[in-house]
Homo-oligomer: A and B are copies of this chain.
Amino acid sequence: MNFASDNSWGAHPAVLAALARANEGAVMGYGGDPVTARAEAVIREALEAPDAVVRFVATGTAANALVCAQMAPSFGRIYCHEDAHIETSECGAPEFYAHGAKLVTLPGTEGKLSPETLADALRAGAGAGLNGGLGAMVSITNATEWGTVYSPGEVAALAGIAHEAGLPLHMDGARFANAVVSAGCSAAEMTWRAGADALCLGGTKNGAMAAEAVVFFDPARADGFDYRRKQAGHVFSKQRFLAAQMLALIERGLWLDLATTANAHARALAEAVTRGGGRLLAPVQSNAVFAEIPAETHRRARAAGALYHLWTDAPADGLDPVPVRLVAAWDMPEAMVARMAGLLAG
């Protein structure tokens, strides 16, 4: 019963089958192969963005950090939520790739930046002059680190503020599919139609082994990006095996199906939490549940072998209720989800 992370779970059989199919004969290396071309095309179609530049890397940290380096100079300010993955969970990758750029972290309820907070921060940053560095970009995560989802309208509001200040908007979409199906909109509505300039489209948490797509909606923003990716060691020589994973997920809509399943699992868990006297810390809009659960429920779940993270920096001994994070994955057995729900509902 592993609810620790969607990273703990596996790859979809279609992904493995695609790898086997791609493993035929000799092709051009470094992305000059037909699988890569097809995967790029399929993603452009899924995003209704025929001019977009699409490139593949194997990790979300690489995707995010490379985009940061592409958009921010060493003296740039990258505005993001204080709980953003790029701030909390990438070991300084954006700063390393962007040669010292500064993440300016902002508060926001339920993992989301508000337009007011962003506008104020951009104004203050501009006022800091040389001392503070040059405003370079805004980065949001969708679905967020708290399992919530920005609607297209909310994305547009933030993009508008960023653009007014001359800054592009980056969307960390490690769980992009979960956000799209949750919002009930198209991938285009969630991104470039709302003003997003770059998207990291996550495959790994969505059923791939290790594959992410970096998308620049305006090709001019991708100038030099292939060199940057190469210099970072993120260009695969046998790239067809990277592209094939994304192709398998995107080409017939599997990515959205899997996200729908994972989101449904999370909702089932969330309902059980509430039934069991727990309290949700944020609305459950994607595949993660942040909640406080009664200590008794926590003990029972642990005793039953459930794995999940406590959601506190402080020592958890004696806490009641207990703050927890439960992450659902598309490949969890239904019975396992049901059993966990039963434990949570008490």
Copy count, this protein chain: 4
Interface size class of A (residues with CB under 8 A): 35 or more
Most buried by B among A16, A61, A89, A307: A61
B96 touches A100 (CB 8 A): yes
A246 at the interface (CB under 8 A from B): no
A9 touches B30 (CB 8 A): no
Contact A29/B5 with A130-B226, A131-B90 known, Cβ cut-off 8 Å: yes
CB distance from A226 to the nearest CB of B (A): 6
User: A66 CA to B2 CA in the complex, in Å?
Assistant: 32
Contact A236/B96 with A7-B29, A16-B19, A16-B23 known, Cβ cut-off 8 Å: no
User: A131 CA to B9 CA in the complex, in Å?
Assistant: 19
A8 at the interface (CB under 8 A from B): yes
A57 at the interface (CB under 8 A from B): yes
Contact A209/B11 with A65-B233, A134-B227, A234-B62 known, Cβ cut-off 8 Å: no
Residues of A51-107 contacting chain B, CB below 8 A: 57-63, 65-66, 69, 73-75, 88-103
A183 at the interface (CB under 8 A from B): no
A108 at the interface (CB under 8 A from B): no
A95 touches B95 (CB 8 A): yes
User: A238 CA to B205 CA in the complex, in Å?
Assistant: 9
Residues from chain B with a CB closer than 8 A to the CB of A26 are 2, 4, 8-10, 307, 329, 332
A283 at the interface (CB under 8 A from B): no
Chain B residue, CB-CB nearest to A64: B233
User: A92 CA to B98 CA in the complex, in Å?
Assistant: 11
Interface 1/0 per residue, A10-44 and B, CB below 8 Å: 11000010011001111111100000000000000
Residues from chain B with a CB closer than 8 A to the CB of A131 are 88-91, 230
State the A residues within 8 Å of B (CB).
2, 4-5, 7-11, 16, 19-20, 23-30, 57-63, 65-66, 69, 73-75, 88-103, 124, 127-128, 130-134, 204-205, 209-210, 224, 226-228, 230-238, 241-242, 307, 313, 329, 332
Query: Could you list some 11 contacts between A and B, CB below 8 A?
Result: A7-B29, A11-B23, A57-B233, A59-B235, A59-B236, A75-B224, A75-B230, A88-B131, A89-B132, A97-B100, A97-B233
